[in-house]
Chain A
Amino acid sequence: MTKRYTSTAKALHWLMAVLLFGLLALGFYMHDLPLSPQKLQLYSWHKWAGVTAFLLVLARLGWRVTHIPPALPASMPRLMQLAAHAGHFALYALMIAIPLSGWLMSSAKGFQTVWFGVLPIPDLLDKNKELGDLLAVVHKGLNLLFVAVLAGHIGAALKHHFIDKDDILTRILPKH
């Protein structure tokens, strides 16, 4: 069984950590702003970053299916191991579902996503106000759920490091 994450896996983990915190902060900040050129700019940046995050998640899933990640410590109770796997599954599921819901919401609201203002991402839905409003609620709800699961993820990592004193946190760090 492998003991360490490859540098690719570590790089993807931390790149996405930075990107997703940025996306979350930007998303919660921008949606209440009064309409201004800056708001439109922030929305565009949020969408570009969201498409980027989605592609990075696909890359991570690609890594995941071609590598076996390091095992959890044998000292962990079975229930805890199960919870850890469920938590990681939820993170991946949300990292896929959230950008998809944002993309669909943009289409339904009539604002196509154009990656970096250059590459148009096709609209899967026609413009539809009710559906757009519904997808906005879905996008927000999924993000609140994501924040909750992330809090669990970070809390668990810190618990492993400071209380259990195992290598769960350190093995994902760049120099380990």
Chain B
Amino acid sequence: MKRFILALALAAGLPLAVNTAQAAAFNQVQADKSAIAFTYQQMGVKVDGKFRKFAAKLSFDPAKPTEASTAIDVDLASVDTGAPEGDQEVAGKPWFNTKAFPTAQFVSTGVKALGGNRYDVAGKLTIKGKTQDIVVPATFTAQGNSGVFDGTFTIRRGDFAIGEGAWAKFDIVANDIQIKFRITAATGK
């Protein structure tokens, strides 16, 4: 009798499981619930900034995390450095040179599940014509039919020639830039 109920439950549950697996591919990015921010150090002072505009594409199925992929384009001219005169400066040639290189791009090349809700997203980050292989740690939290990806990673601005000339030394503006992101995506219909 017990076994029969178990079989029944399994039979009933199976199609349900398949359904949720299909429905659980998160691929509709919700820009209004997503953010890309950064923190830099200026003579020991932590300053927060963010990018107001970016376009993210993403596909993630918790059941098949290794098949996940993402591509994020950040509009570098939309930078908010925390100070208006900083925004103008950073768009200029020594920094992002947004006229020649308007966007920064991250394209994933592979996803590794670390257990729990933690993942390592490997990919190529291109800023100012320079590409680096990076690994971005991210956590995934499902909230109803949308999922939130959170993570923080550090890049070195020197690797991308962000801040040349007088800014090239790291004594005033530090080399390490911490990037914090939150990408929210809903399941596809």
A-side interface residues toward B, CB under 8 Å?
Answer: 35-38, 40-41, 44, 109-114, 116-118, 127
A97 to B104: give the CA distance in the assembly, Å: 45
**What are 16 A-to-B residue pairs whose CB atoms are below 8 Å?**
A35-B88, A37-B167, A40-B42, A41-B172, A44-B43, A44-B44, A44-B45, A109-B83, A110-B47, A111-B42, A111-B47, A113-B45, A116-B44, A117-B43, A118-B44, A127-B82
Known contacts A35-B85, A111-B82: A40-B173 contact under CB 8 Å? yes
* Cβ A111 vs Cβ B166 within 8 A: no
Residues of B within 8 A of A37 (CB): 166-167, 169, 171-173
* Cβ A110 vs Cβ B172 within 8 A: no
* Cβ B48 vs Cβ A110 within 8 A: yes
B-side interface residues toward A, CB under 8 Å?
Answer: 42-48, 82-83, 85-86, 88-89, 166-167, 169, 171-173
A38 to B167: give the CA distance in the assembly, Å: 10
* Cβ A114 vs Cβ B83 within 8 A: no
Known contacts A37-B166, A41-B43, A118-B44: A111-B83 contact under CB 8 Å? yes
A113 to B46: give the CA distance in the assembly, Å: 10
Residues of A within 8 A of B166 (CB): 36-38
Residues of B within 8 A of A113 (CB): 45
Interface of A is mostly: loop
Taking a contact as CB atoms closer than 8 A, the residue among A40, A112, A118 that contacts B46 in the complex is A112
* Cβ A110 vs Cβ B82 within 8 A: yes
- Closest chain-B Cβ to A87's Cβ sits at a distance in Å of 36
A126 to B83: give the CA distance in the assembly, Å: 14
- Other than the given A37-B169, A40-B42, A110-B82, 4 more pairs (CB < 8 A) read A35-B88, A44-B45, A111-B82, A118-B44
A113 to B167: give the CA distance in the assembly, Å: 21
A44 to B43: give the CA distance in the assembly, Å: 7
A35 to B174: give the CA distance in the assembly, Å: 16
- Closest chain-B Cβ to A31's Cβ sits at a distance in Å of 11
Residues of A within 8 A of B44 (CB): 44, 114, 116-118
- Closest chain-A Cβ to B7's Cβ sits at a distance in Å of 60
- Closest chain-A Cβ to B82's Cβ sits at a distance in Å of 5
When C-beta atoms are compared, the residue in chain A nearest to B92 turns out to be A35
* Cβ A35 vs Cβ B89 within 8 A: yes
When C-beta atoms are compared, the residue in chain A nearest to B84 turns out to be A129
Taking a contact as CB atoms closer than 8 A, the residue among B48, B88, B172 that contacts A40 in the complex is B172
Residues of A within 8 A of B83 (CB): 109-111
A111 to B48: give the CA distance in the assembly, Å: 9
Residues of A within 8 A of B46 (CB): 112
* Cβ B45 vs Cβ A112 within 8 A: yes
When C-beta atoms are compared, the residue in chain A nearest to B86 turns out to be A35
- Closest chain-A Cβ to B162's Cβ sits at a distance in Å of 14
Residues of B within 8 A of A112 (CB): 45-46
Residues of B within 8 A of A116 (CB): 44
Known contacts A40-B173, A41-B172: A111-B89 contact under CB 8 Å? no
When C-beta atoms are compared, the residue in chain B nearest to A115 turns out to be B44
A22 to B167: give the CA distance in the assembly, Å: 26
